């Protein structure tokens, strides 16, 4: 299957700083990428849909000024957690699809953010 790469896999930062997480589709072009957040032993919660060349669509309750999403190219989307606080500590996962009729989404390995 197609490969989606996330970087970094783990990041620790101080409260008040900003952290950027990258999501790349390595062998296919993705016009749409999705960002999820997952708490320990919980399900994946969709945060936003990232569209190449346009603004991201955020789910209800997700602060768009806190979680900045940029989809600058067909293979790269970034999530920036601005002014991070300990409650932003979580596992962030991106996914991307190849489009077409399959609907299949490929997920990155996730990025573990710890805010001290």
Partner 1 sequence: QQQVKQSPQSLIVQKGGISIINCAYENTAFDYFPWYQQFPGKGPALLIAIRPDVSEKKEGRFTISFNKSAKQFSLHIMDSQPGDSATYFCAASSLGGKLIFGQGTELSVKP
Q: Does 74 bind partner 1 (CB under 8 A)?
A: no
Strands 32-38 and 90-97: antiparallel
Q: Is 63 in the site for partner 1 (CB under 8 A)?
A: no
Q: How many residues bind partner 1 (CB under 8 A)?
A: 24
Radius of gyration of the chain (CA): 13
Q: Which two tokens stand for residue 56?
A: 């991201």
Alpha helices in 24-116 (DSSP H): none
Interface with partner 1 by CB under 8 A: which range of 12-20, 35-43, 61-69, 79-87?
35-43
Applying CB under 8 A, the span of 11-19, 44-52, 73-81, 82-90 interacting with partner 1 comes to 44-52
Looking up tokens 């008040």 gives: 16
Residue 31 — left, alpha, or beta (φ > 0 → left; ψ -120 to 50 → alpha)? Answer: alpha
Q: Is 90 near partner 1 (CB under 8 A)?
A: no
Q: What residue ranges bind partner 1 (CB under 8 A)?
A: 1, 4, 6, 32, 34, 41-44, 46, 49, 93, 95, 99, 101, 103-110, 112
């Amino acid at each position: 299957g197609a490969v989606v790469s996330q970087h970094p896999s783990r990041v620790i930062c101080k409260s008040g700083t900003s952290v950027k997480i990258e999501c790349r589709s390595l062998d296919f072009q993705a016009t749409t990428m999705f960002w999820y957040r997952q708490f320990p032993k919980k399900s994946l919660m969709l945060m936003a849909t990232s569209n190449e060349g346009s603004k991201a669509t955020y789910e209800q309750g997700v602060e768009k000024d806190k979680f900045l999403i940029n989809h600058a190219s067909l293979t790269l989307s970034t999530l920036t957690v601005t002014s991070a606080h300990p409650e932003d500590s979580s596992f962030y996962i991106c996914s991307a699809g190849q489009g077409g009729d399959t609907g299949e989404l490929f997920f990155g390995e996730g990025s573990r953010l710890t805010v001290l």
